[in-house]
Amino acid sequence: MVRVPVLNALKPRLVPPHAALAQWLATAREAARQPAAQPRMPLVAAGQVVGSVAKGFLNEIGLQRLMDKRYQLSIEERSAGAVWHLQVAPDEISLALNAVAAVLHAAGRCGPWRNEQLAVTNPRGEVVGTVERGAVRVLGITTRAVHLVGLAPDGRMWVQKRSLTKPNNPGMWDTLMGGMVSAADSLPQALARETWEEAGLEVAQLETVTHGGHIDFSRPSREGGGVGFMVERIDWFHAQVPHALEPNNQDGEVERFELLAPAQVHERMAQGAFTSEAALVLAGFYGW
């Protein structure tokens, strides 16, 4: 197990955001918590709510391939309203959800296929299965992500410019590291893995690694032809990168890194140059 040192890091000096940045942040916060673009029905697997789907969406998909197998997906009326119910044994939730994902993929109605499994949780946050990452938005499944704010000893901040080939937010600015928590990861493991893959840094090499907080996102997604819904919790950390170290991307998903003074970070935030996720993580870091 990867252990993350949690020390008492120096907090940044709280400086109120200037007017343009404050206005942008207000808009970004509002955009981070939006209702679905269309009515959605709960998605239930083995009797547990695991996500949601746009009303009528699954009726449009050729589900016969799925229903010919041992998994049955059907509309079920309940006291709180209709739900899509995937009738499977609890130990087959992953197999059944991935069968649904495969049908959606074949129909061209899910996000980019990653061959990566993400955890599926029930309303209590308990992991009940896994599913292909490309299907989570269309199925309204809650995901988890991790970000790392990296500071140089002089107070400047390391930021990355996302690769122009990234499927989401290509070419935008991001924190030192931002990535998904896969089904195989604990939060500390995801922090360590993504920090190495994106920045070529070992967590053990960093100083004052501290969990800063989390941000919840819920908003419509364009995936699946505009029927997706993003539900995500982002846990963010901050740490100091020693003088002798510089980030060096390992997975081809970062175009370059830059070291910015606080005023430069604030200016780029106000210009909307950062992803909305990174901007709200940075707002949390600055105490705004």
Same domain, 50 and 114: yes
Residue-averaged pLDDT of the chain:
90
pLDDT at 67 over 80: no
Q: Sign of the C-alpha dihedral, residues 214, 220, 222, 228?
A: positive
Domain's final residue, options 83, 113, 135: 135
**Domain region containing 179:** 19-35+143-286
Please tell me whether residue 110 adopts helix, strand or coil conformation: coil
| pLDDT cut 90: percent of the chain above it | 77
| Residue 249 shares a structural domain with residue 219 | yes
Whether residues 251 and 187 fall in one domain: yes
Cβ–Cβ < 8 Å for 286, 12:
yes
Q: Residue 41 in contact with residue 139, Cβ under 8 Å?
A: no
pLDDT bin (cut points 50, 70, 90) of residue 180 is very high
Residue 190 is predicted with a pLDDT of 96
Q: Answer for the pair 277, 1: CB distance below 8 angstroms, yes or no.
A: no
242/201 Cα distance (integer angstroms): 11
- What pLDDT sits at residue 61? 72
Residue 248 contacts residue 205 (beta carbons within 8 Å)? no
Asked, for residue 252, whether it belongs to a domain, the answer is yes
> Is 24 inside any structural domain?
yes
Query: Who contacts 168 (Cβ-Cβ below 8 Å, separation ≥6)?
Result: none
Output the pLDDT for position 68: 57
Partner residues linked to 74 by β-bridges: 85
pLDDT at 14 (0 to 100) = 53
State the CATH number of the domain containing residue 118. 3.30.750.160
- Please give the Cα distance from 142 to 219 (Å, whole number): 12
Tell whether 179 and 273 lie within a shared domain.
yes
If asked whether residues 116 and 191 sit together in one domain, one would say no
Q: Each residue of 140-172: b (16+ CB within 10 Å) or e?
A: bbbbbbbbbbbbbeeebbbbbbbbeebeeeeeb
Same domain membership, residue 166 and residue 124: no
Domain count, the chain: 2
Judgement on whether residues 127 and 240 belong to the same structural domain of the protein: no
Res. 187: pLDDT tops 70 = yes
Q: 135, 152, 182 — which closes off a domain?
A: 135
The answer to the question of residue 275 being in a domain is yes
How confident is the model over 226-271, as pLDDT tens digits?
A: 999 999 999 999 999 999 999 999 999 999 999 999 999 999 999 9
Q: Which pLDDT does position 18 carry in this prediction?
A: 75
Question: Residues 6 or more apart from 202 whose CB is under 8 A from it?
Answer: 192, 195, 196
Residue 113 predicted with pLDDT over 80 = yes
**Contact present, 224 and 134 (Cβ < 8 Å):** no
The number of beta carbons lying within 10 Å of the beta carbon of residue 74 is 12
Residue 194 sits in the same domain as residue 274? yes
Q: What are phi and psi of 201, to 5 degrees?
A: -120, 140
Q: Is residue 1 part of a domain?
A: no
Token pair of 63 as six digits: 């589900």
Question: Do the domain assignments include residue 12?
Answer: no
Residue 2 located in a structural domain = no
Q: Please indicate, yes or no, if residue 153 is contained in any of the structural domains.
A: yes
Last residue of a domain, one of 119, 135, 151: 135
Question: Is 9's pLDDT higher than 60?
Answer: no
Residues 261, 165 share a domain: yes
